Amino acid sequence: MENVIIFDHPLIQHKISIMRSKDTSCKEFRELVKEVTMFMSYESLRDLPLREVEVETPLMTCKTKVLAGPEMAVVPILRAGLGMVEGILELVPTAKVGHIGLYRDEVTMQPHEYYCKLPPNIGERQIIVTDPMLATGGSAVAAINFIKERGGKNIKFMCMIAAPQGIETLTKAHPDVTIYCAHLDEKLNDRCYILPGLGDAGDRIFGTK
Ligand code: PRP
Ligand code: URA
């Protein structure tokens, strides 16, 4: 699928393997989420729009390029998506940050919205939705629905681990959204957790288990 990018870079695979281990600490896990997000961002932001400016070097004046406005918007899906925000801001410190609060009902697995606040002029911005886990795809589809209802158009989705079901559901619901994923895993278990996966990403980032 042309709008699904799975990263096969050795550094990303190495870091994902450390994240998977149940013996990796909360501190290390959080740092790895940030690092992997930085690596993925570098590639996934290669089409950010540029504008031409004139700069005087010590030798002469030249025309050169800088990022065009308005600044992009990073929109983490709470909670776990928050862990990926810093990795993007490290590369694009002027990005604005919106938030979408969703949790999966543990019985029905359906996403429930509890918060949504997006930067102004959202329709003019490049939007990166972040969530480490794309399992059934329900949360990602719901979050992108909310963003589109509020005017968002140019949307990318970035995650650490995806299940085939999540990729299928998200690409069907939002074929215009490119998915960037550090690793594609095998399947879901009967509680809709990704296998082999890395467990509950929110609990591992925030130490709430
Ligand atoms: C996790 C994860 C995703 C969602 C993925 O969040 O961070 O948002 O599940 O599952 P889905 O693709 O089947 O919708 P969770 O609901 O556990 O909330 P949390 O981030 O607050 O831990
Ligand atoms: N959410 C998680 O945090 N992990 C999974 O494996 C699935 C959903």
Pocket mutation for ligand 2, best pick of 133, 191, 208 (most atoms within 8 Å of C-beta): 133
Closest residue by CA, ligand 2 atom 5? 193
Q: Mind listing the pLDDT tens digit for each residue in 155-207?
A: 999 999 999 999 999 999 999 999 999 999 999 999 999 999 999 999 999 99
Closest CA to 35 of 91, 100, 78: 91
pLDDT at 103: 86
Average pLDDT, the chain: 96
Note the ligand closest to the C-alpha atom of 196. Answer: 2
The pLDDT of residue 130 is 98
Question: Model confidence at 88, in pLDDT bands (50, 70, 90)?
Answer: very high
Going by pLDDT thresholds of 50, 70 and 90, the confidence category of residue 65 is very high
For 206, list phi and psi in degrees, rounded to 5.
-105, 0
Ligand nearest to the CA of 206: 1
CA distance 126 to 88: 13
Cα-to-centroid distance, 67 and ligand 1 (Å): 32
Tell how far the Cα of 8 is from the centroid of ligand 1, in angstroms.
24
Residues with CB under 6 A from ligand 2: 80, 133, 135, 193-194, 197, 200-202
The pLDDT of residue 77:
97
List ligand 1's pocket residues with C-beta within 6 A: 77, 79-80, 102-104, 109, 111, 131-140, 166, 192, 200-202
Give the ligand whose atoms come closest to the C-alpha of residue 165: 1
- Report the C-alpha gap between 9 and 59 in whole angstroms: 39
Cα–Cα distance, 64 to 164 (Å, whole number): 42
Answer yes or no: is pLDDT of 39 > 90: yes
- Residue 57 CB: number of other CB atoms within 10 A? 8
Q: What is the pLDDT of residues 104-153, one digit of tens each?
A: 888 888 889 999 999 999 999 999 999 999 999 999 999 999 999 999 99
**CA–CA dist 138, 74 (Å, integer):** 19
Atom nearest to 81 CA in ligand 1: 7
